[in-house]
Amino acid sequence: MSQLTSFLLVLSLCAFAPLCFSGKTKRGYLYPQFYDHSCPKAQEIVRSVLAKAVAKEARMAASILRLHFHDCFVQGCDASILLDSSGTIVSEKRSNPNRNSARGFEVLDEIKSALEKECPRTVSCADLLAIAAKESTVLRGGPSWEVLLGRRDSRSASLSGSNNNIPAPNNTFQTILTKFKRQGLDIVDLVALSGSHTIGNARCTSFRQRLYNQSGNGQPDYTLDQSYAAQLKTRCPKSGGDQNLFFLDYVSPTKFDNYYYKNILASKGLLNSDQVLLTKNEGSKELVKEYAENSQLFFEQFAKSMVKMGNISPLTGSRGEIRKNCRKVNS
């Protein structure tokens, strides 16, 4: 087949895929119709298995969404976070951001198993996770978006990347923004994607310093509402109770809405990384106010930013592989 014939074939295929080139990367393309012929039921299978898991435990939606975020910020969206330690691989599950908190792996195993049954070695774990993140959002009442597909799975993981690239709850605003910019994301993406904290939980250890020793001088964080702080202290003592769970959005903890931003305006953002969106930067402060007032605006930007994040350095073409088991590279 000549190069011209190949090019015309690609163009004719894209006539049926208007977004064919919407996810252009340096070395390949992602597009929503990627599995339309090879595994047409892929998204339906992901949705079905996930819906049962979320019905059983509402928190699972937030856990899956977080896994996608923690995956994309390390080596790109390549499912490296799903690899267990083995041979030369040191799992990202051992990193500080993931240890004792990353969860939902069994649900993804179940989804992968169902996909392998329907269409063996076709749907990547990276795409599975991207679809699951969208479905998790929708299941809790959040926005939907067209997921760009065609990612392949990595054959490696990066413990150091996981430790260094993922924003931490106690990072300064500038550090968090720098980590987003490193991934090609901007301040709008930062504020919109932080809105995923409208669902899910955080551990006492993630915000304890705000209650007792914010700046190393034995004083609490006075940007945290003090009556709310008093409530938190009852289950988050100075020592002990590290794993005790608290709602990130205490008003509507299982509903994907814009109360996260309203809470921040009331000085009731749980994590330091939530509250600094209001207190440390004028640009982010204005965005917090806008999203608190207009949930539609938040939903639209969240969807756009999720597509953008999902397009961070994907492996396409012949790079990477389609893992049979998301926890290990193919033998």
What residues form the annotated binding site?
71, 74, 76, 78, 80, 92, 167, 197-198, 249, 257
Angle between helices 272-279 and 204-212 (to 10 degrees): 50
Contacts of 98 (CB under 8 A, 6+ apart): 70, 81, 92, 162
Binding region for heme b: 197
Name the token pair of 17. Answer: 């895929």
Q: Which of 47, 66, 68, 70 is catalytic?
A: 70
Binding region for substrate: 167
Tell me which DSSP letter residue 198 carries.
Answer: G
Angle value at C-alpha 120, between 114 and 121, nearest 5 degrees:
115
Binding region for Ca(2+): 71, 74, 76, 78, 80, 92, 198, 249, 257
* Contact of 152 with 124, CB cutoff 8 Å: yes
Is residue 37 among the annotated active site residues? no
* Contact of 154 with 79, CB cutoff 8 Å: yes
- Which of 269, 262, 214 minimizes the C-alpha distance to 246? 269
Contacts of 133 (CB under 8 A, 6+ apart): 64, 65, 67, 68, 69, 306, 310
**SS3 state at 299:** helix
Catalytic residues: 70
